Amino acid sequence: MKKLLFLLVIVSFVLTACGGGTETGGGDADEQLVVGGDIEGATELTFWNFQELHSEFFEDAVIRWNEEFPERPIKLVAETYPFDQMHNNLLLSLQSGSGAPDLADIEISQFANYLQGEVQLEPLNDVIEPELDQMVTSRFEIYAKDGQYYGMDYHVGATVMFYNEEIMNEAGVDIDAIKTWDDYIEAGKQVVENTDAVMTTVESDEHFSFWPLISQRGSDYFDENGDVILDNDVNVDTLQFIHDLVHEHEIAVIAPGGFHHAEEYYGFMNDGGAASLMMPMWYMGRFLDYMEDLEGKMQIRPLPMWEDGGNRSAGMGGTGTVVTNQSEDPELAKDFLAYAKLTEEGNIKLWEILGFDPPRHDVWDSEAMGEDNRFYRYFHDDIFDILLEVRDEINDINITEQTPDAQQEIHSTVMHSVLREQSKTPEEALTDAAEAVRSRIID
């Protein structure tokens, strides 16, 4: 009954958001891109996403596909919607049996919603499994259920440390001497003492200051059996560490705007507000788009270790592209998606166009990946040497049907109560959140 009520709430929300019109399931798109529309006989495929840069990636793929496979031409209609609108409308369309696109992006924290009950997505095993040996397999397992793969990611999402070397030099800190988190704290004290910047920022409204660190330590929100471990000792200790960066060591501040994608945050960083930032490698594009004054100043390094020999990264974030069961030509949709995201050329394009660390690891040291581009010019040219260093130091994360629920607890209560309001200890906040998630699990 709870699942039914949840769906009815979403249906009600979508009907309200769309003014009662659900004929297309998508409402008005913020952006629409049509590729291949001038090719006679081209099969139309629709693609929904919440990030217009992803449309640009598929635009390039369609052009290449139509040149290589003129006997199977494609007209792609790519539509970009606001995050919540797209996910809610996609879920409604799939549940109602009409209005869904051929292809869609589903963000990782939302993906479990689409795997509940009878899955309305096309299994992709026949195109993924032949390529899996060349892939970071964990990026496919997070979009799988009962042995069936349903999504293809854009990146590995290796979490790294971005250092503003100009600030670090002013503070007298050698970033290559930072090996452990204890080293990082000591370096942060030098930054605060000798510059006008803080060492780093932490999020109070999202999870990118917490989830990577617990994953780096081998923990998660759920264990491999799907049981809630949000309140285990490692997670409590990690949240205490984040709290102490701000309130005990005083080397960090809460990110302006509450998270690392806020407009005011970009301005803060661009003005040299913090000496370093922990985010996945895909965040490079945000630097190029929103922090242009930092070009030539930023260096990427592995994360500090918790102890000697420990992991120096964590896989975070992700968006799985899916083929829905409403596609009129699912074989074409699957073949095109595989061409775009599984081939060597497709993975090189993920780097060249989006600046993402592609899931296909056998291209990381290829000659094509070393060619000059805007990301190398902004940062430095040994980015993939670092990725190869930490390739085997990334733990799997456990995605369950309750992951969106746990994520919401982190976003709405845990980080706020511990970091911003200091109304709860880390143990109290995580215990309350874990109990809230457990109480909503349906046996």
Condensed to tens digits (0 to 9), the pLDDT of residues 171-202 reads 999 999 999 999 999 999 999 999 999 999 99
Query: Token pair of 116, please?
Result: 């509940």
pLDDT of 27:
63
pLDDT of 166:
98
pTM: 0.82
Residues 95-150: tens digit of each pLDDT:
999 999 999 999 998 998 899 889 999 999 999 999 999 998 888 988 999 999 99
- Neighbour tally for 371: CB within 10 Å: 12
* Cβ-contact 245, 202 below 8 angstroms: yes
pLDDT of 387:
86
Picking from 220, 178, 232, 218, the residue whose alpha carbon sits closest to that of residue 200 is 178
pLDDT of 118:
93
- Backbone angle region of 395, left / alpha / beta, with phi > 0 → left and psi within -120 to 50 → alpha: beta
The b-or-e profile of 60-76 (16+ CB within 10 A means b, else e) is: ebbebbbeeeeebbbbb
pLDDT of 443:
62
Angle at the Cα of 320 (from 106 to 160), degrees rounded to 5?
A: 110
> Within the chain, which residues score under 70 in pLDDT?
1-27, 442-443
DSSP state of 250: -
pLDDT of 169:
98
Dihedral angle over CA of 178, 182, 187, 188, nearest 10: 130
